[in-house]
Amino acid sequence: MALDQRRLAYLAAMGIEVWVPRVPSARDLGLAQAPGAEPDAPERWAGTLGWDELEAQVERCTACPLHRGRTHTVFGVGCRSAEWMFIGEAPGEQEDLQGEPFVGRAGQLLNEMIRAIGLSREAVYIANVLKCRPPKNRDPAPEEARACEGYLQNQLALVRPKIIVAVGRIAAQNLLNTATPIGKLRGQVHHYQGIPLVVTYHPAYLLRSLAEKRRAWEDLKLALRTFRHLDR
């Protein structure tokens, strides 16, 4: 399908040239080699909290020391029945102040990335591995990520996305339980609890490394091909 003018504008904002999609094979997608693939995995989402109860629990959470320095918890935003879920690492300063993930310049770029694949911020669900901001935006400690893991899993259970995009190194390594560099995690389809997962760069990194935007676009194309393959 040809790209419409609006999508072309979004791609231009990202600094990406137009691409011509083709129908992928399963091998192209990396599905045959993906570890932990469970296309018909059994139900794993029984006994989860509802949205209101879960959000209230996050707001009063004291499971790790990060609660002492937070202004707001950052729960998540978007469509609560979305087919796409974008997961970042942790709130930054503006996210902590506003209580919403991916705001500011990085959030604007993420919005453009989402629009470039024909979606909108309102049509996807966006969350972080951590719900509270680490001091000075440092990397989350392993124990902090573990303290929040149940909240993220509960969100996944409620949304039930068809595909996950891990946004940035920290998110990818935590979700995939690996120390593998992001450069080696990109370009293939992983799985988290049976859900296809594609790794891409964090938009804050892309703002500092403009040359990597093309690689980020390749990641989004892989995610889009994977998603389209799911409905076949």
For residues 203, 204, 210, 216, the Cα torsion angle rounded to the nearest 10 degrees is -30
Domain assignment present for residue 28? The answer is no
Q: Look up the CATH number of the domain holding residue 107.
A: 3.40.470.10
CB 183 within 8 A of CB 172: no
Domain assignment present for residue 14? The answer is no
Residue-wise pLDDT tens digits, 142-158: 999 999 999 999 999 99
Residue 187 CB partners (closer than 8 Å, separation 6+): 30, 218, 219, 222
Indicate the number of domains in the chain.
1
Question: pTM (2 decimals)?
Answer: 0.81
CA 205, 92, 103, 81 dihedral sign is positive
The whole domain housing 153 covers 48-230
Domain assignment present for residue 107? The answer is yes
Residue-wise pLDDT tens digits, 18-65: 443 333 333 433 433 333 333 333 334 445 899 999 999 999 999 999
Domain assignment present for residue 13? The answer is no
Domain assignment present for residue 27? The answer is no
Domain assignment present for residue 39? The answer is no
For residue 204, what are its two tokens?
Answer: 């804050």
